Structure 1
Amino acid sequence: MADERLQFHEMGLDDRLLKAVADLGWSQPTLIQEKAIPLALEGKDLLARARTGSGKTAAYAVPVIQRILTSKQIVREQAVRALILVPTKELGQQVKNMIRQLTSYCSRDVRVADISAMADVSTQRPILMEKPDVVVGTPSRVLAHLSAQNLLLHASLEMLVVDEADLLFSFGFEADLKNLLCHLPKIYQSFLMSATFNEEVQALKELLLHNPVILKLQGSQLPDSSQLQQYSIKCEEEDKFLLMYALLKLRLVQGKTLVFVGTVERSYRLKLFLEQFSIPACVLNSELPVQSRCHIITQFNQGFYDYIIATDEQSLADPAASSQPTPGKEKKKKAPEKGRKVKDKEFGVTRGVDFQNISNVINFDFPTTVESYIHRVGRTARADNPGTALSLISHTELTLLADVEEALSGDNADSVLKPYEFKMEEIEGFRYRCRDAMRAVTKQAVREARLKEIKQELLNSEKLKTYFEDNPRDLQLLRHDKDLHPAVVQPHMKNIPDYLVPETLRGIVNPFGGKRRKKRVKTNPEGVLKGSFKKNIQGRNPLKSFRYTGGRNKKAGKASKS
């Protein structure tokens, strides 16, 4: 069947683009790429739904680049020909990086600029004055530049892309988007890419598309059970912390793991709790500047640490960082106490963020909507890689679980969460340690941890922008999983005594006993004693073989003379 799939070289793409695709290691297009690229090259408007990790970014980036290369064979005038709208700064950076990779052999002919990052409009003006071929940005940032006349689109724009379309309205971009349309030409090609089809996507369809081709490529929005295994454990608050301790410390969870919690405060509470046991974890905090968040993700992708705790609170509800609040955004700020919809934003920080090779997703706090669950779990089992999703569910979250199971079951029963067979009584011996750790993680400790990290970012902000640009190797010194230590860490909590390890797990998943012995032999091959004395220990009892030398009598005689 793989041979029947349309290949990149059969799509009429420029040789330079094909060479960049080969360098990326893409042997063949994904399903969304195979279907969308030829239609886009024909000039059709597209509304495409495909699950997270299916290659949607390249599905529109490739035809955008190809059309620009074709246009430049006829018209050499430099102008902005493509506009890509994204809901978050992180996604904007990812899209820019993808386009730069795809244009590595034609970078002089196709230039891209990302204006989604928070910056003063005047500082980004020189970038836009050079008229890059592709502009990437959030709706509010693009509108700000259009209003300042830094960006002119009505005469040159040929293509408009809206990525993660289902997030734009929920992030309060409705007013910005409608105002932005007034600055666009009457005729242009549009692409709407989304992981879900909802009422907001339908509204965007009416606004932006003309007789679109609609692609619904996956019946299920998540991979089947052969690729993604989904489990749930019903437990209460204290047991959630106990389970996290046992799963991570006993290495029952292996590989890079993304842990989702409900609030920023709980993310720091969980990080400080894990620090009590010397389990390093990093918080992807929406309160930190975008450069730092992107650096955290980069270091996580490079394997500097295995566990990252993610959350989106209201502080990330303003992803565009517009200088003037729109009516949509003000409405969102008042919404948290009334309904669930604002909770949809809790998956905003990870939507479009390029987490790589995630083996596991753990829902420490269960998501409040089905869409949020899909986008969280969609961080793992991407492309053809396997993945596991584990949800810890308290009695107050049972209704949310029922909603997810009902939505996912559909025609594919394999997508339903299965109970994780774990005997809580086997880790009951860890409970007293868990309680000790939880007592140490006070509200004051959590507050100090948040303040400490924010202050550190303020001190490092200029270094991140200037110094580390000139000294990229020094970036490795800025680690985001460093211990915060506002809570008292007890050294004995680091290791697990063998007698606490469940019998069923001894010698199988607990590497700590063997690891300690190995380390002791490696670091002190001769031991703390001298070699000659060590031989005596190995051969016979040194106390019985000890020979009297008479040194004590000499000392006694000197003492008597004095």
Structure 2
Amino acid sequence: MNFNELGLNARMVTRLEGLGITEPTPIQAKAIPEALSGRDILGIAQTGTGKTAAFGIPLVTALSKRQEKAAPRTARGLILAPTRELANQIVDTLRDLTSDQRITLVVGGKSINAQAQKLSRGTDILVATPGRLIDLMERRAVDLRATRFLVLDEADQMLDIGFVHALRQIAPQLGKDRQTMMFSATMPKAMAELSRDYLTDPVRVEVSPPGKVADKVAHSVHFVPKEKKQELLIDLLDGHRDDRALVFSRTKHGAERLMKTLEKVGFAATSIHGNKSQGQRDRAIAAFKDGSVRVLVATDVAARGIDIEGVGHVYNYDLPNVPENYVHRIGRTARAGRTGRAVAFCSADEMGDLKAIEKTLGARIEVAGGAPWGGTADAAKPKAKRRPRRRNGRRGANKMAA
């Protein structure tokens, strides 16, 4: 199938060809015709399969057909994303797709006054994180009543990090006569409930079972004591110093400590997490993209929205406590048809997290090293020897069973 067969106009097809994009991915092939017909969409697909273009192409096409001009402080289309990094990635994709439409980004960590100034002129597509959008709404810097298109990208993560209350504030402000598209790589029960609240008679487009790992990712797990994780990571990274590697830590402080340790032993490393300013995060990602650093240590802020060519390895230094995030994390490699490797480290107290991940995947992860723990940290510790019971005032009167 090619893009001509999906009902796109010649101008869009030509633009895609100029970007070297000639064949739609499966999620694009299924979602674009339905979206062009005006249907609400619930899209489920693995990370790295082209979901952004799956909603971006029909959104840009629909807005160009209407040929309206955005009034001051209004947005014709709204895309909500859970993280700044994902919002930035969406804007980059949209700007590749059109040069005629005004695209405005509003996220935390940037000057809200500058963002309000941009919105004062009106915009065709507003890409926003929910918290910053509400700040602007409360300042009356943006009016969403004329918004006719709403996209919720990575909606399941919005639920994970508590944006559902923000969504309930934002959605009623939009025009009732609108088209809504919701996309994600996983489909937890709470997201199904969310879709019933925001989608009207949606068509569900799904190209892989929720929680399925991309076919070209070879993933494995090492069972390793917590205090040995650094040593193992350094040893594994040393085997591919010229490749880009993304290392996930569960906490902000842990990510920063690990990055500094890697720097001390000679790796070109940087980090991104919630304690970094937006400028620091942008510079870190830029350095990782241009290859001036080869190791990026991150919290789950980077699990979505980072689309960087050549990430050959993903390390789950700490397992995620939300099992669906495992899929998103390792989806940062093997993108756009490439191959990649993902390696997880599992300490004794993470055994429950591993079991939850394997349940979500519906499969066991290949063991690359060590042996599975007993299931809890206590089970992995050496057991204290039992002392013989006293009988008639004497210790060890009877032999104990081995």
User: Contact 2:78–2:149 (CA<8 Å) still a contact in 1?
Assistant: yes
C-alpha RMSD of the superposition: 2.2
Task: Give the Å deviation of 1:166.
Answer: 0.8
Q: Could you say if the C-alpha distance between residues 419 and 181 of structure 1 is closer, same or farther in structure 2, counting changes exceeding 3 Å?
A: closer
Q: Could you say if the C-alpha distance between residues 133 and 219 of structure 1 is closer, same or farther in structure 2, counting changes exceeding 3 Å?
A: same
Where does residue 214 of structure 1 map in the other structure? 204
Where does residue 20 of structure 1 map in the other structure? 15
Superposed, 1:96-111 pairs within 5 Å as 96-103=91-98, 107-108=99-100, 110-111=101-102
Q: Could you say if the C-alpha distance between residues 268 and 129 of structure 1 is closer, same or farther in structure 2, counting changes exceeding 3 Å?
A: closer
Q: Could you say if the C-alpha distance between residues 272 and 15 of structure 1 is closer, same or farther in structure 2, counting changes exceeding 3 Å?
A: same
Q: Secondary structure of the equivalent of 1:84? A: strand
Please say if 1:160 is aligned against 2:108. Answer: no
- Which of 95, 117, 128 aligns to 1:126? It is 117
Q: Could you say if the C-alpha distance between residues 294 and 185 of structure 1 is closer, same or farther in structure 2, counting changes exceeding 3 Å?
A: same
Cα-to-partner distance string for 1:428-480 (whole Å, 9 max, x where unaligned): xxxxxxxxxxxxxxxxxxxxxxxxxxxxxxxxxxxxxxxxxxxxxxxxxxxxx
- Which of 3, 6, 15 aligns to 1:11? It is 6
Please say if 1:305 is aligned against 2:313. Answer: no
Where does residue 195 of structure 2 map in the other structure? 205
Q: Could you say if the C-alpha distance between residues 253 and 370 of structure 1 is closer, same or farther in structure 2, counting changes exceeding 3 Å?
A: farther
Q: Secondary structure of the equivalent of 1:391? A: strand
Matches of 2:134 and 2:258, distance apart in 1:
39
Where does residue 272 of structure 1 map in the other structure? 260
User: Contact 1:222–1:378 (CA<8 Å) still a contact in 2?
Assistant: no
Where does residue 232 of structure 1 map in the other structure? 221
Q: Secondary structure of the equivalent of 1:348? A: helix
Superposed, 1:249-328 pairs within 5 Å as 249=238, 251=239, 255-311=243-299
Superposed, 1:67-216 pairs within 5 Å as 67-72=62-67, 75=68, 80-103=75-98, 107-108=99-100, 110-154=101-145, 156-216=146-206
User: Contact 1:164–1:352 (CA<8 Å) still a contact in 2?
Assistant: no
Q: TM-score, normalised by structure 2?
A: 0.85
Task: Give the Å deviation of 1:421.
Answer: 5.4
Where does residue 378 of structure 2 map in the other structure? none
Q: Could you say if the C-alpha distance between residues 77 and 142 of structure 1 is closer, same or farther in structure 2, counting changes exceeding 3 Å?
A: closer
Task: Give the Å deviation of 1:147.
Answer: 3.0
Where does residue 348 of structure 2 map in the other structure? 395
The AA in structure 2 aligned to 1:163 is D
- Which of 40, 56, 69 aligns to 1:61? It is 56
Q: Could you say if the C-alpha distance between residues 160 and 276 of structure 1 is closer, same or farther in structure 2, counting changes exceeding 3 Å?
A: closer
User: Contact 2:70–2:122 (CA<8 Å) still a contact in 1?
Assistant: no
Task: Give the Å deviation of 1:87.
Answer: 1.2
Task: Give the Å deviation of 1:212.
Answer: 0.4
Q: Could you say if the C-alpha distance between residues 150 and 76 of structure 1 is closer, same or farther in structure 2, counting changes exceeding 3 Å?
A: closer
Task: Give the Å deviation of 1:152.
Answer: 2.0
Q: TM-score, normalised by structure 1?
A: 0.62
Task: Give the Å deviation of 1:293.
Answer: 0.5
Cα-to-partner distance string for 1:185-232 (whole Å, 9 max, x where unaligned): 12100001111112331232122111000122102634465x111111
For structure 1, the 5+ residue unaligned runs are 312-346, 424-562
User: Contact 1:257–1:360 (CA<8 Å) still a contact in 2?
Assistant: yes
The AA in structure 1 aligned to 2:11 is R
Max radius of gyration: which structure?
1
Q: Which moved more, 1:382-391 or 1:194-203?
A: 194-203
Where does residue 330 of structure 1 map in the other structure? none
The AA in structure 1 aligned to 2:313 is N
Greater share of residues in helix: 1
Q: Could you say if the C-alpha distance between residues 152 and 407 of structure 1 is closer, same or farther in structure 2, counting changes exceeding 3 Å?
A: closer
User: Contact 2:214–2:334 (CA<8 Å) still a contact in 1?
Assistant: no
The AA in structure 1 aligned to 2:141 is N
Cα-to-partner distance string for 1:367-395 (whole Å, 9 max, x where unaligned): 22311211111111122110111112112
Q: Could you say if the C-alpha distance between residues 216 and 170 of structure 1 is closer, same or farther in structure 2, counting changes exceeding 3 Å?
A: same
User: Contact 2:153–2:184 (CA<8 Å) still a contact in 1?
Assistant: yes
- Which of 300, 322, 326 aligns to 1:373? It is 326
Cα-to-partner distance string for 1:137-185 (whole Å, 9 max, x where unaligned): 122322332333322221x222111111112232222222212223211
Corresponding pairs, count: 369
Greater share of residues in strand: 2
Matches of 2:188 and 2:75, distance apart in 1:
31
What percent of counterpart residues are identical? 31
Matches of 1:259 and 1:189, distance apart in 2:
38
Q: Secondary structure of the equivalent of 1:83? A: strand
Q: Secondary structure of the equivalent of 1:61? A: helix
Q: Could you say if the C-alpha distance between residues 231 and 65 of structure 1 is closer, same or farther in structure 2, counting changes exceeding 3 Å?
A: same
Q: Could you say if the C-alpha distance between residues 398 and 20 of structure 1 is closer, same or farther in structure 2, counting changes exceeding 3 Å?
A: same
User: Contact 1:115–1:136 (CA<8 Å) still a contact in 2?
Assistant: yes
User: Contact 1:223–1:381 (CA<8 Å) still a contact in 2?
Assistant: no
The AA in structure 2 aligned to 1:170 is D
User: Contact 2:221–2:367 (CA<8 Å) still a contact in 1?
Assistant: yes
Where does residue 388 of structure 2 map in the other structure? none
